[in-house]
Amino acid sequence: MLVSGIVLHDGIPVANALVVAESDSGAVPEISAVTNFEGEFVLGLPPGKIKLRVQSDLDAFEPLSLDVGEDMEVEIHSI
């Protein structure tokens, strides 16, 4: 499944942020991507419950919990 999205800080795209997908069960190895200049990313993920975390020097971001069952688009916002 493809999960694509954008990372935003106060409505502005965040470039070069690390987006990490973690499985709640630990059964899935860590998968990550770095956002492009427009704050966009794409991750290929297996079906199941996944948590997306963002690492950036700019700000803290709220983890996003997903139940991946089909391709989806998401937005991740700073706290």
Q: Please report the pLDDT score of residue 59 as a whole number.
A: 85
> Does the model's pTM come out above 0.85?
yes
Q: Please report the pLDDT score of residue 42 as a whole number.
A: 98
Q: Please report the pLDDT score of residue 5 as a whole number.
A: 98
Stretches in the chain below the pLDDT threshold 50? none
> Which residues lie closer than 8 Å to 22 by C-beta, 6 or more apart?
28, 30, 50, 51, 52, 53
In order of start, what are the domains of the chain with their CATH numbers? 2-77 (2.60.40.10)
What the block records as the tokens of 75 is 């937005």
